[in-house]
Structure 1
Amino acid sequence: MDKLRLLDVFIATCDAGSFAAAAKSCNTDPSTVSKAINRLEAELGFILFQRSTRQLSITAAGRRYADTVRKLLQDLNSCEHELKHLNDSPGGTLRINSAACYGHLYVQPLLQAFCQRYPAIKLQLEINDLHVDIIDNDIDVALRTGLVKDSRLVARRLSPMDFLTCASPDYLAARGTPRCADDFLQHSWIGFRIKQTQQLQPVFLPDQHGSYQPFELQRSHITDDGEAMAAMCADGLGFAQLPHFLAKQGLQSGALVSLYPYYRPPQPDNGVFAIYAKRDYLPARVRVFIEFISSALEVAGESSNHTWAESWPSLLQGNISGRSRADL
């Protein structure tokens, strides 16, 4: 029996006046109550109750101890009630860490509406591409592409991450639209360098059967910033294979066109995830933020299993003719 349980039994005995009555209120038996009081007295080194065959009477030391224990238990109950209320009522500081592009394009535009709905929540927003330890850095929720394999964390997928092969209309007008595999050798490509590995993100294009395969293509330009990559593509510097959240504004405005239907990597860690610490009781501020983001994505045509890119029109059918990828 732990110390807190011993104190509960002690106060029940004080109130009931006997081991039998205390046992009834504690839903146990008199011998268990007697053993608990004996153990508590042994730990304290003084007598709490005088016992006789007819009655149980509290000692002066027991009475003073009971006053302190009652206050301690009341303070504890009050604190637990207050914390539960805070946990059930969205409020306090919400620390968010987001991947840069996703944070700028998807998260930041939603924050005004979120704060209007939950005025008691104060935001601390960190936007960067560093994979920080959210527990060590006291971050409530991180929005990341790719699943973090950490048993201390929960990863809830907000959407897949679909890729679109894009170019500007001006670029296509000046350089032509590729019709076969050989044509790609004559075009400029903008590559993305992954900061964590310093490797170039692979390019996947549909083969003559419409199945996406990795293609080894020379990159004319390289950047490690996704928004810069999309801007360079819109400025006519070449083709770029962009995640759906980077391509969206350019496609909707007409600054970009999609050459092929979307490509979705088959790996289970593909996607955009809300990542937070595993715990028994998720704070309300975290829960409502994830629900708010998910609802906003649903309105925009995205969910855990699909994105708007699935229905976006492309210039060409989902295949290229000509030589195989080995010939490129």
Structure 2
Amino acid sequence: MALWDDMMDKLRALEIFLATCDGGSFAEAAKTCNTDPSTVSKAITRLEAQLELTLFQRSTRKLRTTSAGKRYANTVRKMLQDLSVCEEELKQRNDSPSGILSISAAVCYGHLYLRPLLMAFCQRYPDITLDFQVSDFHVDIIDADIDIALRTGYIKDSRLIARRLSPMDFLICASTQYIKKQGIPRCANDFHQHNWIGFRIKETQQLQPIFLPNEEGEYVPYELKRSHITDDGEAMAHMCADGFGFAQLPHFLAKKGLDSGELVSLYPHFRPPTPDNGVFAIYAKRDYLPEKVRVFIEFIQSSLKDMDETTNHTWAENWQPLVNFTTASYQ
């Protein structure tokens, strides 16, 4: 804080110095800087002491800028003009949607949900250039100079804002050919007789838990043998569509297969009851959010709304499952 105060004092002294050069007197400089001649005189005296230079020759009738003062004035004037131009350019850039927008997205969400929207975004904001990075590994977006990250879940960090775009709902899916060949499980225990595709989390190398409904319709973790395992979400969805077995897919992975009829879902959606469940837009906490980031968030939210997804809702809530929570389902 002390350093900042010293910098502001120095800038103020330089402004007073230039006003004195231009006005030719402390009185004129005081008018320009909205202060009094005594303050101007003290500021010039301190500046000269810091520089160990005489900037003005003083007399009772006239104030004359020395050669050193003139040279210093030229440098200071250019410096303050450059600073003013830089500030204005940065303000305009911050206030208008333009420049490079660096986006980091989780692989599956980035490919399936975000990438198809990017052309429309760029057509709406032609002055924005995209730097689109896709990775499932969490990176420090501040150190990596990333404007915004789209992540399934978030890491608590006081430097960041995490805005939820939608929940992350899971559906129990299988291909229509698998169902025709192997039959429909009528309760969770029936899955022991079926093939299951497991998902290995890359960062932890742990298998993602499987949650299935009990007889009361409550989702609980089940210990099931995974017949096949993958660490890629899209591969899991494709393997499921290819008939390898059942998979518990996030809604954004299941959507294409369900819409096309390649996949069917059993039971209503499952939503983990945790604060970090969902898809989040994550960006650095700052007083002034760049306009390019703001319009991108608004565009994504609007696009998701068109897909029947909001902060607390996804289309999966309204999807009709093949097997529901009915008494008949468990007989």
TM-score by length of 1: 0.90
- 2:188, 2:213 within 8 Å by CA — same for their partners in 1? no
Instruction: Please state whether the residue corresponding to 1:68 is helix, strand or coil.
Output: helix
For each residue in 1:20-62, what CA deviation from the matched residue of structure 2 results, as whole angstroms up to 9, or x when unmatched? 5534443444443333222211111112233455654433332
Letter paired with 2:289: L
Which residue identity lines up with residue 95 of structure 2 in the other structure?
D
Counterpart residue number, 2:227: 220
- Pick one of 43, 48, 65 that aligns with 2:72: 65
1:114 aligns with 2:121: yes
Q: 2:97 aligns with which of 90, 99, 111?
A: 90
User: Could you tell me which of 186, 196, 199 is aligned with 1:189?
Assistant: 196
Secondary structure (helix, strand or coil) at the match of 2:87 reads helix
Contact kept, 8 Å, 1:207 with 1:319, in 2: the verdict is no
Offset, 1:299: 1.0
Residue 236 of structure 1 aligns with which residue? Answer: 243
2:85 maps to which of 50, 64, 78? 78
Give the whole-Å Cα distance in 1 for the aligned partners of 2:276 and 2:189: 33
- Separation in 2, partners of 1:266, 1:9: 61
> 1:272: which partner in 2?
279
Q: Secondary structure at the match of 1:95?
A: strand
Are 1:288 and 2:295 counterparts?
Answer: yes
Query: Relative to structure 1, is the Cα distance of residues 54 and 254 closer, same or farther in structure 2, using a 3 angstrom cutoff?
Result: same
3-state SS of the aligned residue for 1:9? Answer: helix
Q: For residue 112 of structure 2, what is the amino acid of its counterpart? A: L
8 A contact 1:181–1:322 mirrored in 2 = no
Aligned length: 323
RMSD: 2.2
Q: Hey, what's the Cα distance between the residues in 2 that align with 1:210 and 1:22?
A: 80
Q: Residue 308 of structure 1 corresponds to which residue in structure 2? A: 315
Note the alpha carbon deviations across 1:257-304, whole angstroms, 9 max, x for none: 121111111111111112223333333332222222221111111122
Residue 48 in 1 paired to residue 48 in 2?
no
- Mean CA deviation greater in 94-103 or 146-155: 146-155
TM-score with structure 2 length normalisation? 0.89
Moved more, 101-110 or 26-35: 26-35
Moved more, 191-200 or 263-272: 263-272
Distance apart, 1:255 and its partner CA: 1.1
- Percent of residue pairs bearing the same amino acid type: 70
Q: State the SS of the aligned residue for 2:269.
A: coil
2:275 partner amino acid: P
Q: In the alignment, which of 105, 108, 114 is matched to residue 112 of structure 2?
A: 105
Which ranges of structure 2 fall in alignment gaps of 5 or more residues? 1-5
Pairing partner for 1:163 from 159, 163, 170: 170
**In 2, Cα distance between equivalents of 1:134 and 1:181:** 41
Distance in 1, Cα, partners of 2:12 & 2:163:
38
Q: Which amino acid letter does the alignment assign opposite residue 107 of structure 2? A: A
Conserved? CA contact 1:98–1:144, under 8 Å = yes
Are the aligned partners of 1:158 and 1:273 in contact in 2 as well (CA < 8 Å)?
A: yes
Secondary structure of 1:110's match?
helix
Structure 1: gaps spanning 5 or more residues = 324-328
Query: Do structure 1's residue 249 and structure 2's residue 267 form an aligned pair?
Result: no
Question: Does structure 2 conserve the Cα–Cα contact (< 8 Å) formed by 1:209 and 1:319?
Answer: no
